[in-house]
Structure 1
Amino acid sequence: MSIDYYNNNASAFHADTADVDMSALYQEFLPLLPAGAHIIDAGCGPGRDAMAFQSQGFRVTAFDASEALIDIARQRLGADLAVQATFLEFSAQEPVDAIWACASLLHVPFHDLARTFWHLAKQLKKGGLFYCSFKYGDDESERGGRRFTNLNEARLHEVLAESDLAVKKTWTTGDARPGREHEQWLNAILVKEGD
């Protein structure tokens, strides 16, 4: 199970991802948000992106299902800003401006994704924005103790069909980690249309 993988490999995962340059993705998303917007970092891992958002003046609430990763995130963000929860367990105290789910929802089985998007969309204000990314493809796989749900544009639209989320923009990128640039990712910015 993916949570066990991250609990057992938290330090190595943190070391492998802490210095990855995410600025190109931030530039696609953050300028769309109001100043001081409240962002939920969903599946925050060790808190790299949440820290970047904090440093740019955004309010952040971060959560992850992995106890070991949340321990690292709490050290970096503060105990009150990082919560241990699964996607379906997490509930915001009030609707937020944005959700950031970078390379995290890809661990949710495809048959559970529609329900997961629906639940997370409930945490957003009307007009709120939702960034997510998946390895590009149309299948599910398991590698090294982690499961992956890969999406293309058609599968993304399929899992969003029952939610209040509409696609604002999609684009593909290479992996930002050195030596993995050939791996393609589907990036999406969604907008909440319902109440």
Structure 2
Amino acid sequence: MKMNDQSDAQTLTFYDAEAATYAAKARPDDMPASFHRFAAALPSAAHVLDLGSGDGHYAAAFEAMGHNVTAMDGSAGLAAIASTRLAKPVRVARFDELEEIDAFDGVWAHASLLHAPLKSLPDLMARIHKSLRLNGIFHASFKTGQPEGRDKLGRYYNFPTQMDLQDAMTSSGNWSDITYDTGNGIGYDGKSTGWIILFARKTA
């Protein structure tokens, strides 16, 4: 790994270079079921962290529901697009630069933490736990089913097992309502892959 042991320069370079194309890709009309579950668990006028916000697609949807959204992404190119969409600054930062404490009612990390080195997940989950208010909710989604490595586009993926995620969550703090749903989907690279959808709630 370059730059920092919790980031990958090659992956960030890809998203900077492909930001406009990535943001313009077609999306389903309906939000995924995980979005609706997360949104239903939020209090009214919640403060949501979109961790790895990409082009701001989900952040804009949360704002349209009346929530206050802090958007953060490691790619300056994607953050610039999201800033335009949201009409406010998007923080350009790595996952390991999350230092807020008791700040958010929910952390939405959709298809973002899957780019963090596998060994860094316990630390990142602990940072997310600290950033949440009591009873705050956490969503993350990960590609799974193969060893960590790069896809054909050069992007790094950690490809955790459920056990990897369980170990990271256990070491990061107290959680309840933890679920690990599984499914399949087609990625930006056009390849079908398995997914694990993590949902949890912070407890004291």
Instruction: Check whether TM > 0.5.
Output: yes
Give me the whole-angstrom Cα distance separating, in 2, the residues matched to 1:161 and 1:138: 23
1:173 to 177, 183, 188: 183
Aligned residues: 193
Compute the TM-score of the two structures, normalised by the length of structure 1: 0.89
CA 170–181 in structure 1, closer or farther in 2 if over 3 Å, else same: farther
1:41 to 50, 53, 70: 50
CA RMSD of aligned residues (A): 2.3
**Deviation at residue 21 of structure 1 after TM alignment:** 3.8
Contact 1:114 1:160 (8 Å CA) reproduced: yes
* Stretches of structure 2 lacking an aligned partner (at least 5 in a row): 1-9
User: Please, which moves more after superposition, 164-173 or 151-160?
Assistant: 164-173
Amino acid paired to 2:36: Q
Contact 2:51 2:71 (8 Å CA) reproduced: yes
What residue in structure 2 maps to residue 185 of structure 1? Answer: 195
SS in structure 1 opposite 2:160?
Answer: coil
CA deviations on 1:5-43 (whole Å, 9 max, x unpaired) are: 101111111122655642422112111111111110000
2:17 to 1, 8, 33: 8
Amino acid paired to 2:98: F
SS in structure 2 opposite 1:125?
Answer: strand
User: Please, which moves more after superposition, 150-159 or 60-69?
Assistant: 150-159
What residue in structure 2 maps to residue 100 of structure 1? Answer: 108
What residue in structure 1 maps to residue 147 of structure 2? Answer: 139
What residue in structure 2 maps to residue 116 of structure 1? Answer: 124
Contact 1:174 1:181 (8 Å CA) reproduced: no
CA 43–11 in structure 1, closer or farther in 2 if over 3 Å, else same: same
Give me the whole-angstrom Cα distance separating, in 1, the residues matched to 2:18 and 2:191: 23
CA 140–179 in structure 1, closer or farther in 2 if over 3 Å, else same: closer
CA deviations on 1:75-134 (whole Å, 9 max, x unpaired) are: 011224x21111111334752100000000000011111111111221101111100000
Equivalence map 1:58-97=2 (5 Å) = 58-80=67-89, 82-92=90-100, 95-97=103-105
**Deviation at residue 56 of structure 1 after TM alignment:** 1.1
Identical aligned residues as a percent: 30
CA 36–16 in structure 1, closer or farther in 2 if over 3 Å, else same: same
User: Please, which moves more after superposition, 52-61 or 82-91?
Assistant: 82-91
Contact 1:127 1:191 (8 Å CA) reproduced: yes
SS in structure 2 opposite 1:44?
Answer: coil
CA 92–86 in structure 1, closer or farther in 2 if over 3 Å, else same: same
Amino acid paired to 1:174: N
